[in-house]
Chain A
Amino acid sequence: MRHLHMSLAALGLLAFLAITNPVAAQTSGNASPGSGGPSASAIMESVYNRPKPSDTTALLTMTMVDSKNRERVRSLKQLSASFGTADKKIMEFQSPADVRGTSFMNWSYADTSRSDDQWIYLPALKRVKRISSGGKGDSFMGSDFSYDDLGERHPDKDEHRIIGNDKIGGEECWVIESKPRDSSYSYSRTVSWISKTAPIGFRRDYYDKRDQLLKTLVIQQTQVIDGFLMITQTEMHNVQNDHRTKMSFTSLEVNKGIREELFAERTMTKGL
């Protein structure tokens, strides 16, 4: 059961990142002066504060590929929404068979001093259980994403500086290095490629505590849905063990007026 706690918690955070805050993983950070243009901090703030839908629903498929090209696939339904100072989401596993019907609920708060509230429902045990939201550096669901990768990291938690310019897919980008102010963060630094024409990142490199390149996140597909720029496909590549995790979102809908009452024990047990 606890095996699933960690997995589901991370899955929730991942979906939160990729759907309601699709660019946050690549663009969070804090100020450092650029040369003549906006500061690194201002760029990261603009990405962090970009317009977001108030609620989303989607189907998420996560494909993990190891160095021998063996695949493992996870799929789930999810529901997420923002309510003033709290963001809430529920995710329900569709496959594989041994976790089908398992659901996870996460409430995260604008007040960064507050821990997330998280619950898990395991159909076999027929009980909704409050679980710990700790272990942010752990892998989730055996994927190449960690809790830290999936959460929405506030720009104030890092020091930023522009270290260059680059092009990705013909798009002009700033290359911004972000170093954490808090040494407890999972990485020594990250480097993000941020579009110069839209508040979105296209790539982020993660460096381990020895300052060796560990992982690269690439946004493979975006889609404008009801006026919101949403990430619909991403891939995280762990370059140290050549393991990849691809995430795709389908049936994505936004601003459907999801009621706050839905984020409750009843929805977890009944299913989405």
Chain B
Amino acid sequence: MKKPYLRALALFAGLCACLLQLPAENIFFNGYGRTKLGVLISDGSVFLQENTFDTRFSWETGDTTLYANAIIYEENGQPPELNLRELYLQYFGEAFDIRIGKQQVIWGKSDALFITDLVSPKDLSRFLVPDFEELRLAVTGLRINVFAGNHQLDFVWLPLFTPGIQPQADSIWAPKMPFPVTPTFQPALMPELNLSSGEYFLRYGWLGSSVDFSLMGGWFWNDTPAFAVVGKTVTPGLGLTAIEVRKEYYRTGALGYALAATIGPLVLKSEGAYHIGTRYQGDVMTYPEGYTTKNAIQYSVGTDFPILGFNAGVQFVQDIIFDHEAAMVEDETTNMATVLLARSFARETVRLEALAYIGFAAPDALIKPQITWKIRDGMELAAGGWFFLGDSGTFGQYSENNSVFASAKISF
């Protein structure tokens, strides 16, 4: 029990010691400490008890920056873990930047959606419950940005694949499996750690008067694996009685756009992505491998606006699978909306906000209300909840997980 704890502390101390050797006037250090407690409403059980110490160092020397974001994280009484969320070297040229190392790359213009956020995979081990900052994983690679006025070209090369994180099978956030019987799992089929397994992304962006616009594309490994059927047992008279599956990561591509425009008090936003060769789960008797490959499009349209002292945002999201077949698990068209309301009170020391995801098919929803009280600068208390409405669907499947949380955070 003690070894991981000591190893984490030793690594953290080593990192601090290295940075302290650098000239103090060029070092910037900030971060926060936070403790958070989450309780299931259904039975009062504590499902989340986490302590986080998040530190960010940067060493800046005019045209070069060394940046590190190290986190000591302790959850549910387990030994603390040290996570190096980011560590990169960045060079700022006259008209270009180069960033090498472990880094988060965030694309897109929508809130609470990841339609064109193609590069950084997501940590969905607790579904959409963590803060969005914590949902995105860093990737190791090379990023080159070229600038000409308000035009920007962004190239990302990731020599090694970083998968997204899915909930553990015994987690309360494990999604419903798309199989008629409980499967047994074989080890996942991962891309080889070989330079030929690299991922490539390119984005052009323009930020201008009234409108921002970007186009992007990528050739990459899908962060979320498909379940490939590698064995099944059909018992006469009973049908399918056992199934063996393997998670498989696979090559895919996407082309997308994102735009945002100001019209009076409104900010209009839209983004979309055309996905090439996405695998969709289906009836295992129809598809021997358990899935079929289709092209699909996902897009959103929405607006942000002030109303009655609140900042509001609404977005409509639609997924369309081309050449859809009846044996597929997913519907041909999926519609969803997001609604965000936020307002500050008491001279911005109290903030009230609520984010809702609403699925139209089931129907179902996830509502995340939160109130934050800034006791003083850098110190805040927060409380809120995660409420899942409906019995099925993306959000309704977690209807047993309605919960409330409280947290305390100090920033430095």
Contact = CB atoms under 8 A, between A and B. Distances in A.
- How would you classify the secondary structure of chain B's contact residues: helix, strand, loop or mixed? strand
Interface string B315-350: 000000000000000000000000010101011110
Given A2-B311, A107-B209, A264 B150 contact: yes
A72 B376 contact: yes
B311 A6 contact: yes
B207 interface: yes
Interface stretch (A18-26, A127-135, A175-183, A199-207): A127-135
Interface in A64-111: 64, 66, 72-73, 86, 95-98, 100-101, 107, 109
Contacts of B267: 130-132
Identify which of B205, B306, B351, B380 gathers the most chain A CB atoms within 10 Å of its CB. B306
Contacts of A130: 109, 212, 260-262, 267, 269
Contact of A98 (B32, B260, B266): B32
A265 B265 contact: no
B286 to A, nearest CB: 41
A265 B267 CA distance: 17
A210 interface: no
B132 interface: yes
Contacts of A95: 377
A266 B344 contact: no
A117 B92 contact: no
A139 B205 contact: no
A100 B342 contact: no
Given A3-B351, A86-B209, A127-B106, A97 B412 contact: yes
Contacts of B304: 131-132
Contacts of A224: none
A75 to B, nearest CB: 11
B109 A129 contact: yes
B104 A266 contact: no
From A100, A109, A117, A261, residue with most partner B Cβ within 10 Å: A117
B311 A139 contact: no
- Band of interface residues on A: 35 or more
Nearest to B341: A2
Contacts of A1: 342
Contacts of B252: none
Contacts of B239: none
Contacts of B378: 96-98
B61 interface: no
A138 B209 contact: no
Contact of B411 (A2, A3, A98, A243): A98
Interface stretch (A51-59, A118-126, A157-165, A225-233): A118-126
A64 B209 contact: no
Given A3-B344, A261-B149, A265-B205, A73 B377 contact: yes
A5 interface: yes
B152 A265 contact: yes
Which of A5, A107, A130 has most B Cβ within 10 Å?
Answer: A130
B411 A97 contact: yes
B77 interface: no
Interface in B80-118: 92, 97, 104-106, 108-109
A255 interface: no
A142 interface: yes
Closest 6 CB pairs of A and B: A134-B265, A142-B347, A142-B348, A96-B377, A98-B411, A134-B306
Given A3-B351, A95-B377, 15 more contacts: A6-B344, A98-B32, A98-B378, A116-B262, A117-B209, A125-B133, A126-B106, A128-B207, A130-B212, A130-B260, A132-B311, A133-B262, A135-B311, A243-B347, A261-B149
27 contacts: A2-B311, A2-B340, A6-B344, A72-B377, A86-B209, A95-B377, A97-B378, A97-B412, A98-B32, A101-B30, A107-B209, A115-B265, A125-B106, A129-B109, A131-B267, A132-B265, A132-B266, A132-B267, A132-B304, A135-B306, A138-B309, A142-B344, A260-B149, A266-B97, A266-B147, A270-B92, A270-B97
Interface of B: 30, 32, 92, 97, 104-106, 108-109, 132-133, 145, 147, 149-150, 152, 205, 207, 209-210, 212, 260-267, 269, 304-306, 309, 311, 313, 340, 342, 344, 346-349, 351, 353, 376-378, 380, 411-412
Interface of A: 1-3, 5-7, 64, 66, 72-73, 86, 95-98, 100-101, 107, 109, 115-119, 124-135, 138-139, 141-143, 243, 260-261, 264-266, 270
